[in-house]
Amino acid sequence: MSTSTSSSAGSRSFADVFDTDVVGRWAAPGRVNLIGEHTDYNDGFVFPMAIDRATTITVGRRGDRLLRVASTFEEGVHEASLDDLDPGEMDGWSAYVFGIAWALGRRLPSVEGLDDATASLDAAFGLDIFVESTVPVGAGLSSSAAIECAVAVCLADLWQLDVTRPFLASVGQLAENDAVGAPTGIMDQSASLLGRADAAVFLDCRSLDAEVIDLGFDAASLELLVIDTHVAHAHATGGYKARRASCEKGAALMGVPALRDVSVDDLPRAAEVMDDETFRRVRHIVTENQRVLDTVRTLRTSGPAAIGPLLDASHVSMRDDFEISVPELDLAVSTAQATGAVGARMTGGGFGGSAIALVPTEARDAVASAVAAAFADAGYAAPTIFAVHAADGARRLD
């Protein structure tokens, strides 16, 4: 893989960098997770939605086997050959692109019905790929999964791979795990690929059965606010990995394959067979799985305004038991709750990033102003606060 430097990144376009003819554009959204945090890699349940912030890629077909990628994020062009993809050599944001091509090569041989040339990528041709995004980077809204999923649907279309969206989500997860080096689950890619306008994806991360469920926020005059704290987080390092290790330890001590197999009724026994810290990690996962199921049921039976207490309880569990919140997220959540939100919680992997607040439309501006004022009073950097709407998943634009 190599990199060269060219003109100023932010204002450039495909035509400034590449001279191949454009064959199409693809887009994939970021996500907000409504509830179900760190449950995905425990074989549990999640309930994320794709959002109206997306990565768009503009793509040209090459006559060779090179992938060349450029973006508005940074100057330069990254380049890798399809004959020489090595996840250990990929770094920076281009790993999200090259990692997908590599992961497809790894996973395609397991797909039934593909001929050898297709499954081995021997029939694949090179591409010029220009990446732009409206998903804020580092906000915990899965800007990385948005790039991966835009590339995954593009490669599947252009290389004529007859594969399903859940398969592409598993390809995205493999790229994230092995090329990017983040030991994440399958939630973010599933949301980006399976999301639908005005709906969220209820995913069983063990069976990978997914159900798209209407949210009805508009009809209930509710809005979902994102409060980006600008506290940096990274999943390839530290805390995320440690939480995953604690969950694996807890499952082993309970004698089960994954914490999905531990129920709320099993918690008294869990308290007896493990140390206090591991127990609190386990209690978060076990109760969070139950909260996802309760949220889906409550949404169906009582409507979206009734899910607020479950969002609030999820935040408490992440703050006190899983210990993945930070003071800025706690302040965003408590201020939103105190000024009219029906529910609020941090969203995503934690240690920074964003909180979400489900607010009555008429209280939206008051909640946003109160959070901004509370951050100023606390001496924290000003948060960025904006409404998001559930959007369609990854797709070809033209």
Binding footprint of ligand GAF on the chain (CB under 6 A): 33, 37-38, 40-41, 184-185, 187-188, 235, 348-349
Nearer to ligand GAF, 143 or 337 (CB): 143
CB of 39 to ligand GAF, least distance (A): 7
Nearer to ligand GAF, 46 or 363 (CB): 46
* CA quadruple 143, 145, 148, 152: dihedral, nearest 10: -130
Let me know: does 226 contact 33? Beta carbons within 8 Å.
no
What is the token pair recorded at 280?
């609190």
Nearer to ligand GAF, 126 or 353 (CB): 353
Question: Is 188 an active-site residue?
Answer: yes
**Which residues are paired to 71 by β-bridges?**
131
Nearer to ligand GAF, 184 or 289 (CB): 184
Of residues 40, 128, 188, 312, which has the active-site annotation? 188
CB of 305 to ligand GAF, least distance (A): 24
CB of 38 to ligand GAF, least distance (A): 5
Nearer to ligand GAF, 298 or 314 (CB): 314
CB of 19 to ligand GAF, least distance (A): 36
Helix/strand/coil (H/E/C) assignment for every residue in the chain? CEEECCCCCCCCCHHHHCCCCEEEEEEEEEEEEEECCCCHHHCCEEEEEEEEEEEEEEEEECCCCEEEEEECCCCCEEEEECCCCCHHHCCCCCHHHHHHHHHHHHHHHHCCCCCHHHHCCCCCCCEEEEEEECCCCCCCCCHHHHHHHHHHHHHHHHCCCCCCHHHHHHHHHHHHHHHHCCCCCCHHHHHHHHCCCCEEEEEECCCCCEEEEECCCCCCCEEEEEEECCCCCCCCCHHHHHHHHHHHHHHHHHCCCCHHHCCHHHHHHHHHHCCHHHHHHHHHHHHHHHHHHHHHHHHHHHCHHHHHHHHHHHHHHHHHHCCCCCHHHHHHHHHHHHCCCCEEEECCCCCCCEEEEEEEHHHHHHHHHHHHHHHHHHCCCCCEEEEECECCCCEECC
Task: Give catalytic residue positions.
Answer: 188
